[in-house]
Amino acid sequence: MTYLPHLPEDLPEHPPGWREVVAESRFALEWLRAKRLGDRVLQGLERGDGQSLMLLPGYGADEKAMNSLATRLRQLGYAVSHWGQGKNNGAVHKLLPKLKQKIQDHVQHSGQPITLIGWSLGGYIARELARDLPEHIAGVITLGSPAVGGPKYTITAAAYRKKGFNLDVIESEMAKRDSIPILCPLTVLFSKVDGIVSWPATLDRLTPQARHVEVHSSHIGLVHDAEVFRTIAKVLADQRTKP
């Protein structure tokens, strides 16, 4: 697995523009290519041996959006569960306590820590769970997820402002959480053609063991694209061999 050796220092100046948003329509082709490949997408990938994974959807999405990723990971031999919270409504302060309890119950029952794979806002939530449950989380993989700024550098920024949220305050509160380190393996997948989250905001410049992988898909395609799936599978295999 090849990881990005150096990270750019600068944060984005603004969220993705309308051209990037319109270009998200490429996800339909990414989905179609993956569907045509079928089980061939699994060829040559190292199999799991029953490790526990939990998938966390992005803002406005639910478990159905993660189904194709879940199916492929199960075919590879992973024990995959959905987060069980229905549609991600963005109420992180309400979701975190429920997810903490779910993870604690799962780990107590299975006897092994769990790896979290979070898409967009789901990845941000996965990061926060890893901070608070270091003994329960084996690793985190984020897919186009904000590591800084919250909604400030996403296309939802205007909607948050319209609702009265101060995005600078949200950014500051997120930065305060960085004082609690993420201790587990952390891999950040990002795409420079992401039309939903400005990609420099997805990079983790503070976690020493964070690894970054550039992929080439739309934001929506991060949970559908065949090559992104193969990258996730390779990261999972690498995580087992490189603490």
pLDDT score of 1 more than 70: no
The angle subtended at Cα 183 by Cα 178 and Cα 184, nearest 5°, is 125
Rounded to the nearest integer, the mean pLDDT of the chain is 93
The angle subtended at Cα 132 by Cα 126 and Cα 134, nearest 5°, is 85
User: What average pLDDT score do residues 38-55 get?
Assistant: 93
Partnered with residue 228 across adjacent β-strands are: none
**pLDDT value for 11:** 78
**pLDDT value for 68:** 94
**pLDDT value for 13:** 79
User: What average pLDDT score do residues 214-228 get?
Assistant: 96
User: What average pLDDT score do residues 98-120 get?
Assistant: 96
**pLDDT value for 242:** 64
Most confident of 10-19, 36-45, 120-129: 120-129
Q: Residue 159: pLDDT band by 50, 70, 90 thresholds?
A: confident
**pLDDT value for 243:** 54
User: What average pLDDT score do residues 192-218 get?
Assistant: 95
Q: Is 137 helix (H, G, I), strand (E, B) or coil?
A: strand
pLDDT score of 189 more than 60: yes
**pLDDT value for 219:** 97
**pLDDT value for 163:** 84
> Which two structure tokens, joined as six digits, stand for 173?
């509160």
Residues of the chain with pLDDT > 90, as a percent, come to: 80
How far apart are alpha carbons 19 and 232 in whole angstroms?
28
**pLDDT value for 12:** 81
**pLDDT value for 9:** 75
**Distance (Å) of CA 92 to CA 5, 85, 127:** 32, 11, 12
Q: In what order do the strands lie in the sheet with 137-143?
A: 79-82, 52-56, 114-119, 137-143, 186-191, 210-215
Least confident of 5-19, 83-97, 136-150, 157-171: 5-19
pTM score: 0.94
Domains of the chain, each with CATH number or no CATH: 46-241 (3.40.50.1820)
Q: Residue 6: pLDDT band by 50, 70, 90 thresholds?
A: confident
How far apart are alpha carbons 165 and 229 in whole angstroms?
35
Question: What are the start-end ranges of the H helices in the chain?
Answer: 18-22, 27-37, 67-75, 92-110, 121-132, 157-162, 167-177, 226-241
pLDDT score of 153 more than 80: yes
User: What average pLDDT score do residues 141-148 get?
Assistant: 96
